[in-house]
A and B are shown apart, each in its own frame.
Chain A
């Protein structure tokens, strides 16, 4: 029996009177690609923000690899191997693309080694190696999204949380991205918030559907596609149309 990588128990976060996340029990197995979907305001980003430590829960517990990390500060969770890429692009716009990736790389490796090879490997994976010297703020939006992902990869995470990574990417870029996530999933677990349904159906091993702060359904892409409650709440009448 393999132990789960991430477990949340009764995870809740209130903002004033609003329960953005309401008693979520969630289990993620290592090696999985898990998609989290749901309408806007369903609590997806709040949920992953609690997992990575940007927001503290109002109640409930978070276990990572068996250890309770509910009260652990965000930077220490990153050191445990939880990497988060921001929904709203958050790179260092005034630094070079290279330096953006060198920062996570130098943190994960011991003193004395030069970060150069690892930086270029991470940039190669997302196809930005030829833009290493550019200022990050001058990259096209889609490329900034990819730089975010490269920074996440450079942390060598055990759990990579991608918050709407394909927002603003072209179709061709999305195809590259699917290949990239599959490579990443060979040695990391991926938790993916995504609105692009064809991509989710193609990529995810399992899907968790959020609605109004609760887990509405969970299962394989086929089960979710067939679930009547999900169709009513989120997918509309046809599975392929929602975005």
Chain B
């Protein structure tokens, strides 16, 4: 980090990536345009996951509950309390933040494999609760957020979040905020302490750092960013469903992050994108697309265990954050 600290280069790269994504809005055909908006939101979920897994070295298998907490926090706010889009988004963030503090306080009493199991169990409890309280949550069916509720009013100007361009730009804006937040976090003192905890927790403690408090902050930041993605997903795509709380959505961010490169700022975005491109390409010419996805993942783990950007950084681009 310190030996080759190049902030100008780093921020230029991030801006270039965002500019390219902005340009894509005007060239992508309708189908890919919609898919890309979805990828941008899910990449935010992956960025949140990366804070905890990539930097602090804590492997959670329950992040779907944070994503779903944001999703239901926003969706239920709209459906049951008639909240507007901004308040619904804040409600989703708040639900994610509260849940992640509570889960962090409990789950961080464990570490390693026990931490994986405890987070997974809490996520299962959360998912089953969503189905149990069907009167509120819509149970298995989930809830549809009506188009009329998905309007963003700025005085005289009303933005319709169901409009493809508005949706794409909103997703991109959220993605940009998450990207720069994680980039800033990683370069901050707190970010360096998280890496130190990942590398050698006992030593970090003996340098005078309260490792529990630092890990709790990491869980909270990670959970809240994941909740932001969930809330945005509900508001942009108009659907809130219990399948997003399932174990599949706890594994997916792990795969996206591993694929793109854990502990790289752009890795989660790239990993999500590549995974969707592979899935989409494979499913267009065979019904056995899961097999192809599986093979691609195995090859990646075998030959690029650090992920795409992690490998690039190790071999050529040491300055990548």
Interface size on A, as a range, is: 20 to 34
B195, B199, B205 pick with most chain A CB within 10 angstroms:
B199
Whether A75 and B1, one on each chain, are in contact in the complex, defined by CB atoms closer than 8 angstroms, is no
Tell me if A94 is interfacial: C-beta within 8 Å of chain B.
yes
Query: Which partner residue on chain A sits nearest B213 by CB separation?
Result: A75
Distance in angstroms between the alpha carbons of A86 and B203 in the assembled complex:
9
Interface residues, chain B, with chain A CB atoms under 8 Å away = 1-4, 189, 192-193, 195-196, 199-200, 202-211
Tell me if A179 is interfacial: C-beta within 8 Å of chain B.
no
Known A99-B1, A99-B2: A155·B196 in contact at CB below 8 Å: no
Whether B207 and A107, one on each chain, are in contact in the complex, defined by CB atoms closer than 8 angstroms, is yes
Whether A90 and B202, one on each chain, are in contact in the complex, defined by CB atoms closer than 8 angstroms, is yes
Query: Least Cβ distance of A43 to chain B in Å?
Result: 20
Known A92-B199, A92-B200: A151·B207 in contact at CB below 8 Å: yes
Distance in angstroms between the alpha carbons of A54 and B204 in the assembled complex:
12
Distance in angstroms between the alpha carbons of A94 and B196 in the assembled complex:
10
Distance in angstroms between the alpha carbons of A91 and B189 in the assembled complex:
18
Distance in angstroms between the alpha carbons of A91 and B207 in the assembled complex:
11
Contacts of A78 in B (CB 8 A): 205-208
For the complex with contacts A95-B196, A95-B199, A106-B192, 12 further pairs of A-B residues with Cβ separation under 8 Å are: A73-B210, A74-B206, A75-B208, A78-B207, A92-B196, A96-B2, A99-B2, A106-B189, A107-B208, A107-B209, A133-B2, A155-B208
B3, B203, B210: the one contacting A96 at CB < 8 Å is: B3
Whether A132 and B3, one on each chain, are in contact in the complex, defined by CB atoms closer than 8 angstroms, is yes
Query: Least Cβ distance of A111 to chain B in Å?
Result: 8
Whether B200 and A90, one on each chain, are in contact in the complex, defined by CB atoms closer than 8 angstroms, is yes
Known A102-B192, A107-B208: A91·B3 in contact at CB below 8 Å: no
Whether A75 and B205, one on each chain, are in contact in the complex, defined by CB atoms closer than 8 angstroms, is yes
A52, A132, A133: the one contacting B206 at CB < 8 Å is: A52
Contacts of B205 in A (CB 8 A): 74-75, 78
Query: Contact flags (1/0) for A75-105 with B, using CB distance below 8 Å?
Result: 1101100011010001111111011001110
Whether B202 and A99, one on each chain, are in contact in the complex, defined by CB atoms closer than 8 angstroms, is no
CB<8 Å pairs between A and B, sample of 16 = A54-B206, A74-B205, A75-B211, A76-B210, A90-B200, A90-B203, A92-B203, A93-B199, A93-B200, A94-B199, A95-B1, A95-B195, A96-B3, A103-B192, A103-B209, A106-B189
Tell me the chain A residues, 182-235 only, with Cβ under 8 Å from chain B: none
Query: Which partner residue on chain B sits nearest A54 by CB separation?
Result: B206
Distance in angstroms between the alpha carbons of A95 and B203 in the assembled complex:
13
| Closest A-B pairs by Cβ, 9 of them | A78-B208, A133-B3, A92-B199, A98-B2, A104-B207, A90-B203, A79-B208, A75-B210, A107-B208
Whether A104 and B1, one on each chain, are in contact in the complex, defined by CB atoms closer than 8 angstroms, is no
B3, B4, B204: the one contacting A103 at CB < 8 Å is: B204
A52, A79, A91, A102: the one contacting B203 at CB < 8 Å is: A91
Query: Which partner residue on chain B sits nearest A111 by CB separation?
Result: B189
Distance in angstroms between the alpha carbons of A147 and B199 in the assembled complex:
16
Query: Which partner residue on chain B sits nearest A119 by CB separation?
Result: B2
Contacts of A132 in B (CB 8 A): 2-3
Distance in angstroms between the alpha carbons of A151 and B195 in the assembled complex:
16
Contacts of B204 in A (CB 8 A): 103
Query: Which partner residue on chain B sits nearest A135 by CB separation?
Result: B3
Whether A102 and B2, one on each chain, are in contact in the complex, defined by CB atoms closer than 8 angstroms, is yes
Whether A104 and B199, one on each chain, are in contact in the complex, defined by CB atoms closer than 8 angstroms, is no
Distance in angstroms between the alpha carbons of A86 and B204 in the assembled complex:
12
Query: Which partner residue on chain A sits nearest B208 by CB separation?
Result: A78
Known A91-B203, A94-B199, A95-B196: A104·B189 in contact at CB below 8 Å: no
Whether B208 and A96, one on each chain, are in contact in the complex, defined by CB atoms closer than 8 angstroms, is no
Contacts of B206 in A (CB 8 A): 52, 54, 74-75, 78, 83-84, 86, 90
Contacts of A133 in B (CB 8 A): 2-4
Query: Least Cβ distance of B55 to chain A in Å?
Result: 13
Query: Which partner residue on chain A sits nearest B211 by CB separation?
Result: A75
Tell me the chain A residues, 88-143 only, with Cβ under 8 Å from chain B: 90-96, 98-99, 102-104, 106-108, 132-133
Distance in angstroms between the alpha carbons of A98 and B1 in the assembled complex:
9
Query: Least Cβ distance of A139 to chain B in Å?
Result: 14
Whether A104 and B208, one on each chain, are in contact in the complex, defined by CB atoms closer than 8 angstroms, is yes
A76, A92, A94 pick with most chain B CB within 10 angstroms:
A92
Distance in angstroms between the alpha carbons of A106 and B196 in the assembled complex:
13
